[in-house]
Structure 1
């Protein structure tokens, strides 16, 4: 969840300008990938990412244009999980729960610890359609003088399912006839070309796992590299 998208950039902006902007505001930043009119930056953790969004998005000009900052979640990876920021600190949770329930069944609400005086929560809806509706209806919703800010966030569970599907697709190309039971492939039927799966940057940390434990288990169990 630590990869951010920076949009509405002037054509004159350079990577060094973005790094300087972050440095002036004492915001943690990693690698900067600059494209035409937008860029991607890496943040060290969730708290740093939230601070960058709240500090810069819609509030700061760079080379004459007000920049937009949000989580980098491609459309095809947008799922049931969203993040709601700028929640009034004194708001009763029953009120927020009632508001969220207006747009679908909520499976989970988790508060995120931040340095901000306002609250931040991650919400998981039952369906992607519910999450999409909530973003469309609630983004900018006013609670007193506070306007809610809502974004999609990466769904690690959805990624795992996608990787599982890719594994099944690979198994389907193993040469078995329809209806034939799965079993060890004959030793002479090996893939000449290895299967390569490209993983979006924002999911790399989840796949590596704490101290590399997840990726070690994957490589041991699957013989992959």
Structure 2
């Protein structure tokens, strides 16, 4: 029953994107859906607890995905124009912030200054760093507002909205176990895993999607 519940929730949430996205992104989303169902089967039906245990496979994979996304967004920023560069840099910093959220740095054998920087008050430096590209986005608020529909219908909007829902709503629902599932810990980790996977897909498609939006804006003018 737990597997059916998780499979239905994940499928119902991700499946609409298969229709809204182009073929390449639909295939990527389908692979992410298949992976999530496979992990659900192993964790729930086969009892492979190491998948979602603290500091184990899923959490470590999340960190790798986030750091890879961080780098990919940063590389995208290097080829984008000023307005779009701010978006790429903001998402890059955001992925980096999420990455050390998934790691218990204070439990690792690392230097004290690194623990302070990544696990204590020093983390504020990165939040301040995120404000720099955020200011760039706010300067172009009018552009984003006028063309909001284009952004929301693009892969960027679809992926980011789904990722936000997974992190804020679905992950929180499983954390509070409002569905009464005995595998709510796994489901919570899976929600975060999928959200970070969507961020990674966003990073891969960012330059192409922004270029397509720019062409539509130019055509409309």
Q: Same fold (TM over 0.5)?
A: no
TM-score range, shorter chain: under 0.3
Report which structure shows greater RCO (CA 8 Å, sep ≥6). 2
Higher helix fraction: Structure 1 or Structure 2?
2
TM-score (ref. length: structure 2) = 0.23
Higher strand fraction: Structure 1 or Structure 2?
1
